[in-house]
A and B are shown apart, each in its own frame.
Chain A
Amino acid sequence: MSERLLVEAVNDALHVELARDDSVMVMGEDVGRAGGVFRATAGLRDRFGESRCVDTPLSEAGILGAAVGLCMAGWKPVCEMQYDAFSYPCLDQLITHVGRYRWRTGGKMEFPITVRMPYGGGVRAPELHDDSPETYYVHTPGIKVAIPSTPADAKGLLAAAIRDPDPVVVFEPKLIYRTERGEVPDGEHVVPLGKARVARAGSDVTLVAYGAMVPLCERAAAELAGEASCEVLDIRSLRPLDEDALLASAAKTGRVVIVQEAPRTVGFAAEIAAILAEKAILDLRGPVIRVTGFDVPYPYWKIEDSYMPSVERVSAAVRRVVEF
């Protein structure tokens, strides 16, 4: 075990996986010489050479499109999108090819592509450095999506993504890149996709979250300790989704609040609410409540704290469902 920051755990995973498998390569903008704008890829180019940690042109569709061809040539590409909102040009490739190509070959050819990107707000950054685009990705058939909230999971989920024979997108919560510090297993460490984590046990209300909203929910749960016992469920992986863990927690507490920083409409919280409506209606003692961003462009940072879910908004939702 070593104590690491979340972004250091990402870097550790890349070092371990590139050393473990010669066919794994990292590509992206500024990932090589600079070691990534967040230092997530630091040291890879020196250690593994410039053909396994490649500085690409500024070309998000080119990066992901090239990754398709690299798979055909026997590589397992790990593509970095420099920021959440800079990834949008790659959605064309993701939707028209990456999610479809294995299907198109009748299952004969695998596309073990990993896309990783820092995402989310609260970091006092310019426009389009703050988005939470996970819905676009998870809505695409053929694509798996994982989002860690701890350093150990940042390493383990990324390793699982790289080893998975299907395309996986890993969103890394940049707000907590350097604020979450924790024990991370040394060497190989894999957290399987599709297994949620109970971050905090409780009996009255379940707070469902992922990414940077998990530590926020843990803070809310701590503040609410005198009035309501909150369970915090870190779902870790949006596809595959651990429905068993979700339904088990809902059955235990009977009350669910879902927290996401993405815009509200058709966000992943809506999917979780729909699953609860279909499969847990008799377990629920009150409405499923969403705490989300809003259906507006992510704001300039002088007012971003009013957009982001807060301990206050989460606490208000908990009180509402408890008092229902």
Chain B
Amino acid sequence: MAQGDPDLRRVIDEDRELDGVGEHELLGLYRSMVLLRTYDERSLVYHRQGRIGTYAIFWNHEAMQAGSVHALSDEDWIFPSYRESAIGLLRGMPPSTVLHWWRGHPAGWWNPADYNVASICVPIGTHVPHAAGLAWGKKLKGEPACAIAYFGDGATSEGAFHEGANFAAVMQAPLILFCNNNQWAISTPLSAQTHAETLADKAVGYGMPGVRVDGGDVLAVYEATREAVDRARAGEGPTFIESVTYRAAPHATADDPRAYIDLARVEEEKKNECLGRYERYLRRLGLLGDDLEAEIKAEAADAMRAGIAAVEAEPDADPELLFEHAYVFPPPNLRDGWHT
């Protein structure tokens, strides 16, 4: 579906070039995709080595994440799901913070205002109303920032998605609803998730535009997000982007998709995975050669090596942290039953 669907917006396969996107930005997108890919592939290894806990793989989702973040400004807020756990790296967050998060260490806490990246949302779709509230709140204050909420195809069946989308539309909040439709919610296929022809069709019911892009095409994602951001900043309200791809990896390290997925299809998708597609495009344009590719990948590998080293050098968390941070002014009986 992903690559054969003629309705999806594409740039790379059509060898189009985007207005106002020069060599610097094209290579910046590439660096971001490589950083995310390296994070993801190394994390799978770290998991198998017992160095981090359960991990939600985002292999082949890098084009969606990098393409959309690059269309934002730094003052815009990102609301990730667990599938976008490392998206803060594109805002300068150190890999060690995200690795700590997956390691269950409180050093994985961050202040959202430091990066304009909200905490990773673990339950499905419940962060969509947060993004609507942030976007609406910025609008009420007359500030130009917009928000983007990332969620999967399964989230569109949740009540929180509906309430957040409707709220944003009614308030004409500057929000981008970014649906990463990888066609699987663990083992539940899209056909068991919705009877709608496309997820973008849902946007009609909210009175907002719904657009569909090839989620494996970083430039198509970038272009669609840029248009949505322009609409948001112009006061024209939210946009729903359905970014179509195919989940070519397990849902998470605890999942074995052989029980339910079409393995031949997975192999087919892997051949056209998003990073390789973009590399071939950059090479056709003459912007990427072997040396530069090796240099960019080495930088990312170094960042991950430094990240895991920092994580493993971190002392164990103090158990007293149990009682920190849940309240500014904690109730006096909070430590009742604490005997150490």
Let me know if A294 is at the binding interface, CB within 8 A. no
**Can you name the residue of chain A whose Cβ is closest to the Cβ of B118?**
A72
Interface size of A in residues (CB-CB distance below 8 Å)? 47
What are the residues of chain A within 8 A of B143 when measuring CB–CB?
Answer: 73
B112, B130, B135, B324 — which one has the most chain A CB atoms within 10 A of its CB? B130
What separation, in Å, do the CA atoms of A52 and B167 have in the docked complex?
A: 16
A75 near B331 (CB under 8 angstroms)?
no
Instruction: Decide if A70 touches B109 in the complex (CB within 8 Å).
Output: no
Question: Which residues of B from 151 to 165 have beta carbons under 8 Å from A?
Answer: 159-160, 163-164
Interchain CB contact under 8 A, B133 and A67: yes
Contact A106 B134, CB 8 Å, known A57-B167, A97-B126, A241-B333: no
Task: Tell me the B118-141 residues at the A interface (CB within 8 Å).
Answer: 118-119, 123, 126-138, 140-141
Q: Which residues of B contact A71 (CB under 8 A)?
A: 133
Question: Is B82 part of the contact surface with A, judged by Cβ < 8 Å?
Answer: no
Q: Are B332 and A61 touching (Cβ within 8 A)? A: no
Contact (Cβ within 8 A) B333 A68: no
Q: A141 vs B166: C-alpha distance in the bound complex, in angstroms? A: 29
- Report how far A69 CA is from B160 CA in the complex, Å: 14
Q: Is the CB of A72 within 8 A of B130?
A: yes
User: Is the beta-carbon distance between A65 and B329 smaller than 8 angstroms?
Assistant: no
| Chain A residue at smallest Cβ distance from B136 | A66
Measured in the bound complex, the distance between the Cα atoms of B119 and A64 in whole Å is 17
Whether B130 and A68, one on each chain, are in contact in the complex, defined by CB atoms closer than 8 angstroms, is: yes
Q: Check B141–A66 contact: CB distance below 8 A.
A: no
A301, CB-defined interface residue at 8 Å: no
Given contacts A105-B110, A106-B106, A243-B332, contact A66 B133 (CB under 8 A): yes
Instruction: Check A73 against B138 for contact (C-beta < 8 Å).
Output: yes
Rounded to whole Å, the gap between the CB of A279 and the closest CB of chain B is 9
The answer for the CA separation of A107 and B329 in the assembled complex, in Å, is 11
Cβ–Cβ contact A66 & B325, under 8 A: no
Residues of B within 8 A of A306 (CB): none
Interface centre among A71, A72, A108, A142 (most CB of B within 10 A): A72
Minimal beta-carbon separation of A103 from chain B (angstroms): 4
Inside 8 A of A243's CB, which chain B residues have their CB? 332-333
Can you show 12 pairs from A to B with CB atoms below 8 A apart?
A25-B140, A59-B166, A61-B159, A65-B129, A71-B133, A72-B134, A93-B129, A105-B119, A106-B111, A108-B112, A165-B329, A240-B329
User: Which residues of B are interface residues toward A (Cβ below 8 A)?
Assistant: 77, 106, 109-114, 118-119, 123, 126-138, 140-141, 143, 147, 159-160, 163-164, 166-167, 170, 324-329, 331-333
What residues make up the interface of A, taking CB atoms closer than 8 Å to B?
25, 51, 56-57, 59, 61-62, 64-75, 89, 92-93, 96-97, 99-110, 141-142, 144, 164-166, 194, 239-241, 243
**Chain A to chain B: the 10 pairs with minimum beta-carbon distance, closest first:** A65-B129, A69-B133, A73-B137, A66-B133, A62-B163, A106-B109, A108-B111, A69-B134, A240-B331, A107-B325
Besides A70-B137, A108-B109, 8 new A-B residue pairs in contact (Cβ under 8 A), listed by A number:
A68-B129, A72-B133, A72-B134, A75-B140, A92-B159, A102-B326, A142-B327, A164-B328
